[in-house]
């Protein structure tokens, strides 16, 4: 039913269940009725009811009395504000992204890895002005995006295997890698080469070149990509930007390193 990756393995207690419900509501992308959630969940009526009550009570969900629907609550927006500022690369990387976007004239994505999935934390659309949350916070698959593969390639063995296992391997296009083995092989190539490509593996006509952002100790902290469409640019065109991309990735890594919070 859901071609996305499963995320929370084991439920840790009540909190885990509550957050699972929260995700369920959020994933819907629109206000949901109690019964709709009930149909999808394994929890009995009363349990689901109380979980929703608690979450609503806490402002994590908003309940529309008129329509009898639940939607993600504003408290999340408040919390995310902190999360974005602290745990994401975005604030630090902003200036570098801007510079790169202007230089290459293509769309730049900044992403981080969240449980095997790609979480876009910033986007720069050379031409148009920035779109807020409409882009930051979006998630995408790890196995068929440039940034996803770039980050996975540089994980250590355990985490890498874990990430490989979490993928959904849905064939979005004829070029999509659809087996763990194929992905693993591609990751090896990427690690050797230093950059990854999306060869229309996610959406037809969309290609990109991506590079990981690595800390001085070699840990993956994010990735950066230059995206374009086959109608605008050839693959060779992207290749031209390789140096600038790698340079920017390094710059961001450096900035992130030095800008650790004052303790």
Partner DNA sequence: GAAACGAGTTTCATTATTTGGAACCTGTTG
Partner DNA sequence: CAACAGGTTCCAAATAATGAAACTCGTTTC
Q: Does 261 bind DNA (CB under 7 A)?
A: no
Q: Does 80 bind a copy of itself (CB under 8 A)?
A: yes
Tell me how far apart the alpha carbons of residues 209 and 214 are, in angstroms, rounded to a whole number.
Answer: 16
Q: Which does 169 bind (CB under 5 to 8 A by kind): DNA, a copy of itself, none?
A: none
Q: What is the nearest approach in angstroms of a copy of itself to the Cβ of residue 173?
A: 24
Q: Does 23 bind a copy of itself (CB under 8 A)?
A: yes
Q: What is the nearest approach in angstroms of DNA to the Cβ of residue 66?
A: 11
**CB-based burial, 172-197: b 16+ in 10 Å, e otherwise:** beeebbbeeeebeebbeebbeeebbb
Tell me how far apart the alpha carbons of residues 121 and 130 are, in angstroms, rounded to a whole number.
Answer: 12
Instruction: Give the one residue of 95, 102, 114, 205 binding a copy of itself; rule: CB under 8 A.
Output: 114
Footprint of DNA on 37-66 (CB under 7 A)? 38, 43-47, 49-51
Given the complex with DNA, which of 36 and 203 has the nearer CB atom? Answer: 36
Beta carbons of 60 and 75 less than 8 angstroms apart: yes
Footprint of a copy of itself on 82-111 (CB under 8 A)? 82-88, 90-91
How far from 222 is each of 60, 100, 121, 247, CA to CA, in Å? 28, 16, 10, 14
Q: What is the nearest approach in angstroms of a copy of itself to the Cβ of residue 261?
A: 4
Q: What is the nearest approach in angstroms of DNA to the Cβ of residue 17?
A: 5
Q: How far is C-alpha 8 from the chain's CA centre?
A: 16
For a copy of itself, how many residues bind (rule: CB under 8 A)?
Answer: 66
CB atoms within 10 A of CB 27: 13
Find, among 109, 113, 116, the residue nearest to 6 by Cα: 116
Q: Which does 127 bind (CB under 5 to 8 A by kind): DNA, a copy of itself, none?
A: none
Q: What is the nearest approach in angstroms of DNA to the Cβ of residue 51?
A: 6
The stretch near DNA (CB under 7 A) out of 13-21, 78-86, 96-104, 186-194 is: 13-21
Q: Does 243 bind DNA (CB under 7 A)?
A: no
| Residue ranges that bind DNA, judged by CB under 7 A | 12-15, 17, 33-35, 38, 43-47, 49-51, 68
| Residue ranges that bind a copy of itself, judged by CB under 8 A | 7-8, 12-16, 18-19, 22-23, 25-27, 29-31, 51, 53-55, 57-60, 62, 67, 71-88, 90-91, 112, 114-115, 119, 121-122, 129-130, 132-134, 136-139, 260-263
């Amino acid at each position: 039913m859901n071609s996305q990756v499963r995320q929370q393995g084991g439920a840790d207690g009540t909190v885990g269940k509550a957050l699972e419900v929260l995700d369920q509501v959020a994933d819907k992308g629109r206000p949901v009725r109690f019964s709709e959630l009930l149909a999808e969940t394994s929890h009995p009526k009363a349990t689901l009811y109380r979980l929703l009550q608690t979450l609503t009570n806490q402002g994590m969900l908003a309940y529309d009395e008129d329509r009898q629907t639940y939607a993600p609550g504003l408290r999340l927006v408040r919390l995310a504000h902190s999360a974005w500022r602290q745990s994401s690369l975005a604030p630090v990387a902003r200036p570098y992204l801007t510079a790169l976007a202007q230089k290459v004239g293509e769309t730049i994505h900044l992403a981080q890895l969240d449980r095997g999935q790609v979480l876009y934390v910033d986007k720069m659309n050379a031409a148009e002005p920035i779109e807020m949350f409409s882009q930051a916070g979006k998630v995408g698959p790890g196995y068929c995006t440039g940034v996803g593969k770039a980050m996975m390639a540089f994980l250590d063995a355990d985490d890498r295997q874990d990430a490989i296992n979490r993928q959904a391997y849905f064939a979005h296009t004829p070029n999509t890698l659809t087996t763990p083995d194929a992905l693993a092989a591609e990751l090896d190539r990427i690690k050797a080469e230093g950059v990854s490509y999306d060869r229309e593996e996610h959406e037809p006509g969309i290609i990109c070149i991506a590079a990981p952002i690595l800390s001085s100790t070699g840990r993956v902290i994010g990735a950066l990509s230059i995206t374009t469409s086959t109608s605008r640019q050839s693959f060779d065109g992207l290749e031209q930007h390789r140096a600038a991309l790698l340079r920017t990735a390094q710059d961001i890594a450096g900035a992130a390193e030095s800008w650790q919070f004052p303790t």
